[in-house]
Amino acid sequence: MLALVVVVPGGLVQARAQSDAESGVPAAGRGRILLVLPFDNRSGQPSLEWVREAAPEILSSRFASAGFAPMSRADRLYALDHLGLPQGFHPSRATALKLAQTLDADSIVVGSFATDGTGIAVQAQVVDVANLRMSEAVTARGEMRDLVVVFDSLAWKLTRQMDPGFKGSEETFVAAGAGLHLDAFEEYIRGITEPDQAERLRHLKQAVALNPEYGEAFMALGREDYSGKQYEEAAAAFAKVGGNDPDSLEAGFYRGLSLLFSGDYPKAERAFGGVARILPLAQVVNNEGVAVSRQGHDGISLFRDAETADPNAADYHFNLAVSLKRHGDVAEALAELTQCLRLRPNDTEALELQKAWTEPVKQLAGGPNPSLPAEVKADPLERIARSFDAVAFRQAALMLDQVDAARQAALTPAERARELAGQAKDYLDRGLLLEAERLYHSAVAADGKLAVAHAGLAQVRERTGDGEGARKEARAALELEPTTDAYLVLGRLDLAGGKLDEAGKEAAEALKLEPANRAAQELRRQIEAREGLKQ
């Protein structure tokens, strides 16, 4: 029985590798797409079967943050279905290799877990599929209550093994999973794996009740409500998926659909518009146009954009035709309907519409009774794009990354470092420590003399509890340039260590640089409060 990390080569992945190389992103994600399959349960306890699925959920999340491009659970289930295997199938070594070959994989990682009283031990090995060579085992262990930490540690060790040049710290991997409550996580895993929908809903509702900030659980709950046509409930669940969640764009798309189907067109328009501002794919822009039209407004420009983005989709020509006709442009509407039928000749609705739009014209031009035009049925509504094309979203995101990477490649190393540090700061402000750390390291690699990059790493180290590492990076920053953030890191560390004089000096230096800095002002207040207690 095996658990896999599958590395799939291909044009998109190679493009990502080039993008990463040009932008200074660490090599962890170069030329590899990762797929993690469930771990083998060697505990002998059927009640721990949920841990099999917990492994790919945690590892995939950490790999994504570390710069890999892990495939989703849906991708994995699709691959199993392609081989005619059930979702809960436990692959043998031969079947695992067959799966890897089906996915055109370079490598797999096999893994398992076992228990010892209250403890859990996990291990994994990397297999070179082409040469059938297996690496040394990577292991991690800890208490069962620290299951997330154990898998975070394993993810870090696997990342270092697959990419020896990766510089992220184990503490940052562990910190990335700090907000994942084990009880809620277990309910979530059971909620996405139960065969019965009622049971899935019960577990997912329990997961979000235990952790109201659990984006992945809300995403899964939204999917269940949507598939059950409970659109108002689905919209509410999708709205809880935060902007930092990797599923945020998909959540926005399906929230828009849920609002369309429940008749809340203004909110649907805003939901699709929010997604389109980031990735203006055809199905998103089309649905935004539908939401606009259902409010009695003009959606022609949006339908034109959708058609331009995907000119081979018959429905977008149909929608533009309907909208043009509604606003009085019959000639162009007929031209668009002709394009729709060229792409889909057997479209019954479009054929009937073409007949209805052309027959009155023929009669008025010299039919048997021009004074009595034929009865024309009301024109249909524009069609909704109902499916979320995750591959298209990934491709579009990759294209944006490539454009940005090409732009960064034209910058000087110092300019590129400053831009990477700015992106890292955005991640840091959003609490995405692993992503921030990765980009700060990229900035330092591009220009080791950039003080703000070292100061950023100091803040990451501080937040992950690595006081010594935080001091080292803060001092490295200050050797290069006086930096508010570096002084604040040292001030907070000294305050926590009871070194009030040093903390006071560092707070004062920070305030000299930025008198209005709230963090510096707060640090000074805390120091003064502590000094007052000592008197």
Per-residue pLDDT tens for 247-280?
Answer: 899 999 999 999 999 999 999 999 999 999 988 8
Q: Give the chain's mean pLDDT.
A: 87
Lowest mean pLDDT among 298-302, 308-312, 400-404: 400-404
Specify the pLDDT at position 103.
65
Q: What are phi and psi of 326, to 5 degrees?
A: -60, -30
Per-residue pLDDT tens for 58-74?
Answer: 999 998 899 887 878 88
Specify the pLDDT at position 6.
41
Instruction: Give 343: exposed, middle or buried? Use CB within 10 Å, 0-12, 13-18, 19+.
Output: middle
Task: For residue 334, give both structure tokens.
Answer: 């007929």
Residue 419 has pLDDT above 70, yes or no: yes
CATH homologous superfamily, domain 11-180: TolB, N-terminal domain (3.40.50.10070)
Per-residue pLDDT tens for 169-214?
Answer: 999 999 999 989 999 999 999 999 999 999 999 999 999 999 999 9
Residue 113 has pLDDT above 60, yes or no: yes
Specify the pLDDT at position 12.
31
Contact 207/214 with Cβ under 8 angstroms? Answer: yes
Please spell the DSSP secondary structure of 343-408, one letter per residue: H-TT-HHHHHHHHHHHHHHHHHTT-S-TTSPPP-PPPPPPPP-----HHHHHHHHHHHHHHHHHHH
**Averaged pLDDT, 305-328:** 95
Residue 27 has pLDDT above 60, yes or no: no
pTM confidence score: 0.84
Matching fold, domains 282-388 and 403-534: yes
Per-residue pLDDT tens for 434-453?
Answer: 999 999 999 999 999 999 99
Residue 352 has pLDDT above 60, yes or no: yes
Give residue 188's identity as a one-letter amino acid code. Answer: Y
Specify the pLDDT at position 317.
97
In sequence order, the 6+-apart residues with CB closer than 8 A to the CB of 466 are 169, 171
CATH homologous superfamily, domain 403-534: Tetratricopeptide repeat domain (1.25.40.10)
Can you tell me which residue has the tokens 């009030």? 500
Domain boundaries, the chain: 11-180, 282-388, 403-534
- What is the H or E stretch that residue 140 is in? strand 138-143
Residue 3 has pLDDT above 50, yes or no: no
Specify the pLDDT at position 391.
67
Residue 17 has pLDDT above 50, yes or no: no
Q: Quick one: three-class SS letters along 431-477? A: CCHHHHHHHHHHHHHHCCCCHHHHHHHHHHHHHCCCHHHHHHHHHHH
| Residue 300 Rama label (left phi>0; alpha psi -120 to 50; beta) | alpha
CATH of 282-388, one of 3.10.450.50, 3.50.30.60, 1.25.40.10, 1.10.579.10: 1.25.40.10
Per-residue pLDDT tens for 128-154?
Answer: 777 777 889 999 999 999 999 999 999
Specify the pLDDT at position 34.
77
Specify the pLDDT at position 333.
95
Percent of the residues in the chain that have a pLDDT greater than 90, as a whole number: 69
**Averaged pLDDT, 230-240:** 98
Cα distance between residue 176 and residue 492, in whole Å: 22
Specify the pLDDT at position 83.
74
Residue 23 has pLDDT above 50, yes or no: no
Per-residue pLDDT tens for 360-412?
Answer: 555 444 444 444 344 446 789 999 999 877 666 667 776 777 788 888 888 99
Chain CA centroid to CA 529, Å: 42
